[in-house]
Each structure stands twice: as structure tokens, then as C-alpha cells.
Amino acid sequence: MENRWLKPLYETVEAEFSHTWLPSHDHTHHRRVWLFAKELVRALCTEGCHFSESKLEQLIIAVFFHDTGLTQTLDASHGRESREICRKFLNGFSAFSTDSAETILAAVEKHDDKTYAESFPPGKELPDDILTMLAVCDDLDAFGATGVFRYLEIYVQRGVPLRMMPEKVLENLEKRFHFLVQNFNMLGNFIQVHKKRYHYTADFYRKMGLQFASDPGRTVDTGPVKVVGLLTEKILHERIPVAEIGSHIQVSELDEFSYHYFSRLEKEHKGSLQGEWQP
């Protein structure tokens, strides 16, 4: 199934983003979400869930189109635009029934509109519907070093001042992790792996918040503040691809915190391009 769909989907989404510089949510983001989806499917299968080929097709297509609407609008309601782009793609395939296509389109449209409190109560069966899986796997890309950059880029694009970002990020990040745990707490190993990634992003923005609180004049140029400045300069302004950023930053200009961050970011992105993500 993957051999049949991965290349055409990746190339289609890459073309959609060819005139939009949004590296935190472009075709590489969609590929990472697919890697998380495969990991989740494997974890669910060990707990007795079964996925037909048609369901896996629904999942991979929904994954690769969920954020394409960001090429049209940066608004949180971009799912509607994503749905329309996906609908046009599906029109070229007569093999999809109306019900199957609607399952895909509904997941694409609603992936970011989830009400976090309305998840499966503890003790119920593990959710294996396309929408929940897509929403959770999309959230997983908000963790780790990639998540740090993802929040920075999209909030900058939406006009959020740097000083206000830590509070906003931490609130949103907690909701994402809560949604993961509420739905898939029975997957102990899966949760533990991504809990560490969640804490990495949360710790980064907590430290950034403390830097802003203790240095209102922003005279400090180390740690998270240093990282954010370089991410803004190199990726948002100079448009250097994330996987190549290491070769565009002088190690001598980095403090220890920044060095470890950029090493991790580069590792995550190179891993995803090779078909594996790095915890």
C-alpha cells in the first residue's frame, strides 16, 4: 500500500507548497506525520487492532493532505481549504466510494478542530478511527526540536510577539499531550517515547519564558533566545531548508544549549527524509 501511494502523495503535496515557504508545515511535515502514523498503527496492532488496506489508504491520504490548506490561509480553519484540495485529488480516482472519500475528507477538514476534552474516556477501546489517529499524529510533530521550530514559525506568521509565545505554546502543548494520553494511554511504550519529546519542547519554552521575564531588555543572547533568533534569521528570512541549517551556522557562534538544539533539529529532519524519525 505504502509503495503505491507514498511517492505520488509526497510529490503532489510538495507541488502544492512550491510557492509557499512554510517549512514547519510543508511536504516534509506531512511525511513526518506519516512516520508517526505508521508507528501508531504498529502499536495498535500489538493491542489487537486490525487495519485493512483500504483503511490504511484512507489514513495515508488524509495524512498527506491535512495541512495543504495552509497554502491558501494561515488561519486555524485551514482544514476547509485542505479538504477542497484533497477533494480535487480524489476526483481523479474512481476506486474510492463516496463513503470512503468522505471519511478522508472529514478527517482532513476536522483534524485541527478537535475539542480536546471530548476524547475517549479511560477504559474504552483504543480509538482507531482516521480522524483521531490523524489528529494525534499531527500533534506528535509539535514535540521535540521540530516542535520548537513549528510553534515559532506558525505563531510568527500569525503575528504573535516572541514575548507572548512561551505562555501560548505551553498552553497549546499541554492540550496536545493530554489529547494523546486520553486516547492512547493503554499504549504505554508509545506514550513514554513521546512524553520525552513533549517535555523537550515544553522545557524549551519554559526556559525561554524565564529568559524574557529576567531580561526585559533582551540583552541576553544565549539559550532559547539565541536559538529563536537564529531560526528566525536562517529559516524564516534566509529560507534555508531545515535539514541543511547545520552547514549554515558557525559552531563558534553557538553556546552549548544552542549547539545541542541545532544538532537535534538536523538529526530529526534528516531522519525523516530517510524514512525514519529520531526520538
The per-residue pLDDT for 243 is 82
Q: What is the 3-state secondary structure (H, E, C) of the chain?
A: CHHHHHHHHHHHHHHHCCCCCCCCCCHHHHHHHHHHHHHHHHHHHHCCCCCCHHHHHHHHHHHHHCCHHHHCCCCCCCHHHHHHHHHHHHCCCCCCCHHHHHHHHHHHHHCCCCCCCCCCCCCCCCCCCHHHHHHHHHHHCCCHHHHHHHHHHHHHHCCCCHHHHHHHHHHHHHHHHHHHHHHHCCCHHHHHHHHHHHHHHHHHHHHHHHHHHHCCCCCCCCHHHHHHHHHHHHHHHCCCCHHHHHHHCCHHHCCHHHHHHHHHHHHHHHHHHCCCCCC
CB 234 within 8 A of CB 240: yes
Give the model confidence (pLDDT) of 13-37 as tens digits.
Answer: 999 999 999 999 999 999 999 999 9
pLDDT beyond 60 at 209: yes
- Helix and strand element counts for the chain (H, E): 11, 0
Region 271-275: mean pLDDT is 58
pTM for the full model? 0.90
Lowest mean per-residue pLDDT among 147-151, 245-249, 262-266: 245-249
Instruction: List the domains of the chain with CATH numbers.
Output: 1-141 (1.10.3210.10), 144-279 (no CATH)
Q: What angle do CA 202, 208, 214 make, to 5 degrees?
A: 135
Query: Where residue 112 falls among pLDDT bands split at 50, 70, 90?
Result: confident
pLDDT in tens, 210-261: 998 887 766 668 899 999 999 999 999 999 988 888 788 888 889 999 999 9
What's the pLDDT score for residue 172?
A: 95
Question: Between 53 and 126, whose confidence is greater?
Answer: 53
What are the tens digits of pLDDT across the range 49-97?
Answer: 999 999 999 999 999 999 999 999 888 789 999 999 999 999 887 777 8
Assess whether pLDDT exceeds 50 at residue 277.
Answer: no
